[in-house]
């Protein structure tokens, strides 16, 4: 796939312009997006991503088009998994809903910058050291195992990294609109808003460790890796508000992602064996009898896994809700909606928990 510096420049410039537009059109004025607004923009960005994939297939061939779609599906699924942690971070810091857009926007920009660096490093390693496929494959197999048994219960807001940040930076006890810093008594303090952004940026860095090796298991083209990541992150902010309640029902998403990461890990190991240059493996000669998994099979496998995990999750949670619907033949009384904090969207228990994080 031939990608000229001009194409790279235009792609990066357009990506930056999209985020600038997002900020001034939707994020600059604090507000909680409506379901309709979130649905429209989510559909727009997904449609744009699919149209871009068709363009790659038409211009560069459908092998590359298939690699893009497989990479986009994988990155989108991993990005949705990120939303679980974002929800925990938002609740941990009790971020008012009208300010959550700004936190997500900055967090997504940080994620794209970090992933851009990882993409460049990965491309250089793959071009010069074929044995890196062994490392990527082994890493994904380990991450797949951890993903399968992850519970998303650990709160990054109370982790060691954030504890260190609090020791270094003086922090106010309350939010000051959407300001990141504020001056009090002649001294500059950071607000919980800034801490939330730092926490999400740190989470993005951790998630890039499995995101980039995963997509390099599907394509060696750095351009496809970058654009698939960019489109997966575009619209993630709107998706957060659109499916926030649905996230709690995707109980098998972690297991589905574990299957995908494990599959890509095996694919990477197979490819490493097929292009082997390590002297202690088959005398440094490639193992040509090892099968190369075709991209069309990868695309179908990833799509099918996502569908199965989603459907199974919805059926499981629907069954659980039906079981809880009646207790000894009597309806379960739900909590009074007025018990919830109107600004933050998190209940009093979460608010009291958040206070312990500060």
DSSP 200-269: HHHHHHHHHHHHHHHHHTT---HHHHHHHHHHHHTTHHHHHHHSHHHHTT-TTHHHHHHHHHHHHHHHHH
Angle, CA of 11, 13 and 15, to the nearest 5°: 70
What is the tens place of the pLDDT at every residue in 229-251?
899 888 788 887 777 666 677 77
Please state, rounded to an integer, the average pLDDT across all residues of the chain: 79
Cα 21 from Cα 313, distance rounded (Å): 35
What is the tens place of the pLDDT at every residue in 283-337?
878 787 888 888 889 889 989 998 998 899 888 887 766 666 544 444 444 444 4
Question: What phi, psi does 170 have (nearest 5°)?
Answer: -75, 130
Specify the 3-state DSSP secondary structure of 139.
helix
Q: What percentage of residues in the chain have a pLDDT greater than 90? A: 14
**Residue 340 binned pLDDT confidence (cut-offs 50, 70, 90):** very low
185: its two tokens: 């008594």
Paired with 187 in beta bridges are 184
Q: Is residue 274's pLDDT more than 90?
A: no
State the DSSP H helix or E strand holding residue 164, giving kind and residue range, or none if neither: helix 160-168
Whole-model pTM above 0.85? Answer: no
At 228 the pLDDT is: 92
**Residue 223 binned pLDDT confidence (cut-offs 50, 70, 90):** very high
* Nearest Cα to Cα of residue 33 among 235, 200, 175, 198: 235
Q: Is residue 154's pLDDT more than 60?
A: no
Alpha carbon 46 to its chain's center? 15
């Amino acid at each position: 796939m031939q990608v000229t510096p001009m194409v790279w420049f235009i792609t990066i410039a357009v990506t930056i312009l999209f985020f600038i537009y997002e900020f001034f059109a939707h994020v600059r004025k604090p507000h909680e997006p409506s379901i309709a607004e979130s649905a429209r923009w989510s559909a727009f960005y997904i449609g744009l991503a699919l149209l871009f994939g068709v363009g790659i297939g038409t211009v560069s061939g459908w092998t590359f088009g298939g690699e893009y779609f497989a990479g986009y599906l994988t990155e989108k699924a991993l990005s949705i998994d990120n939303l679980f942690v974002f929800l925990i971070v938002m609740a941990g810091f009790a971020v008012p809903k009208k300010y959550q857009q700004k936190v997500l926007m900055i967090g997504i920009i940080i994620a794209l910058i970090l992933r851009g660096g990882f993409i460049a490093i990965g491309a250089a390693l793959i071009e010069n050291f074929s044995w890196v496929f062994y490392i990527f494959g082994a890493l994904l197999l380990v991450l797949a195992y951890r993903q399968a048994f992850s519970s998303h219960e650990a709160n990054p807001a109370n982790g060691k990294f954030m504890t260190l940040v609090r020791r270094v930076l003086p922090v106010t006890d309350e939010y000051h609109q959407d300001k990141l810093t504020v001056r009090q008594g002649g001294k500059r303090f950071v607000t919980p808003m800034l801490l939330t952004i730092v926490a999400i940026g740190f989470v993005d860095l951790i998630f890039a460790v499995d995101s980039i090796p995963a997509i390099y298991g599907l394509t060696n083209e750095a351009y496809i890796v970058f654009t698939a990541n960019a489109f997966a992150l575009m619209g993630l902010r709107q998706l957060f508000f659109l499916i926030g309640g649905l996230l709690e029902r995707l109980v098998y998403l972690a297991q589905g992602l574990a299957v995908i990461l494990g599959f890509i890990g095996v694919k990477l190991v197979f490819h490493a064996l097929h292009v082997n240059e390590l002297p202690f493996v088959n005398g440094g000669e490639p193992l040509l009898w090892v099968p190369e998994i075709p991209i069309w099979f990868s695309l179908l496998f990833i799509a099918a896994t996502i569908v199965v995990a989603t459907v199974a999750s919805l059926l499981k949670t629907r069954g659980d809700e039906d079981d809880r619907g009646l207790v000894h033949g009597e309806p379960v009384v739900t909590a009074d909606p007025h018990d919830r904090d109107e600004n933050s969207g998190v209940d009093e228990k979460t608010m009291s928990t958040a206070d312990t994080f500060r």
